[in-house]
Amino acid sequence: MDLDYALRTNTPAAITAQNTTEKNVAYKKWERSNHMSIMIMKSSISVAIRGAISDSNNAKTYLASMEEQFKGSSKAHASTLVMKILTARYDGTSGVREHIIMINDMASKLKSMEMEISEGFLVHFIMTSLPVQLGPFKINYNTQKQKWKMSELITMYVQEEERLKVERPDFAHLATTVPTRKKLKGNDRGKRKVDLRKSINKASASSTKPMQAPKCHLCSKIRHIRKDCTRFKDWLAKRVMILIL
């Protein structure tokens, strides 16, 4: 059965007594295909999006309404892709090769929207977005007169990656992913919890420790300081009398 028959042909004349058997058969074929096409299209999109599309009993008309509705969405998506490409920089969260492929994939999506980016510009742009560790690789590209294609860029990078892995083992993480956090073993995890618990208990104990009463440095008695001490006051009075006399 041709499910897309109703999308490829115009609506035939309705069945009447004057129609020939051939026309009636063609109409029934179109009617069945039209019904199946509408049912498949409506079941393939979410309810929220379906409500924004003008309803129609004709499959071709319904499909045209869908296309018109999503023209604005495709433009917004294209703008998002352009901004992502322009701001793309290698951030270390994935491999460099994945970074190159990601930008190339976004450019391919723009090409399907009739916004093609030249391959030469794309290769040059990707080179500027690579990390500083690939400085010699960039210099090698800039000093060559011949422009690279995207396939050549990936091939050249693979060779550079293998060279750097041999010369600089610390570069290996750039070719794959960023290092993950070190997992603690069972004993280390238990010790860390115990140390943390001790620190919390020590802090709480120091915060709840009662304050000591003031102590006089003259008579060594507690609950008062020297300026309030009677012995200090008597000594001070005698000292004043001596100075007066």
The predicted-structure confidence for 94-125, as pLDDT tens digits, reads as follows 777 888 888 888 888 888 888 888 888 888 88
pLDDT at 233 over 80: no
pLDDT at 176 over 60: no
CB 130 within 8 A of CB 90: yes
CB 175 within 8 A of CB 98: no
Q: Which residue type does 48 have?
A: A
Q: Measured between alpha carbons, how far is residue 33 from residues 2, 4, 57, 199, 240 in Å?
A: 7, 6, 12, 75, 120
Instruction: Give pLDDT, residue 16.
Output: 74
Question: What are the residues facing 215 on neighbouring strands?
Answer: 222
170-184 b/e (C-beta count within 10 Å ≥ 16 → b) = ebeebbeeeeeeeee
Residue 242: HSE in the Cβ half-sphere, 13 Å Cα cutoff: 6
pLDDT grade for 179, boundaries at 50, 70 and 90? very low
Share of the chain above pLDDT 90, in %: 0
**Over residues 198-218, mean pLDDT:** 65
Helices (H) and strands (E) counted in the chain, each on its own, are 12, 0
CB 30 within 8 A of CB 5: yes
pLDDT at 206 over 60: no
pLDDT grade for 138, boundaries at 50, 70 and 90? confident
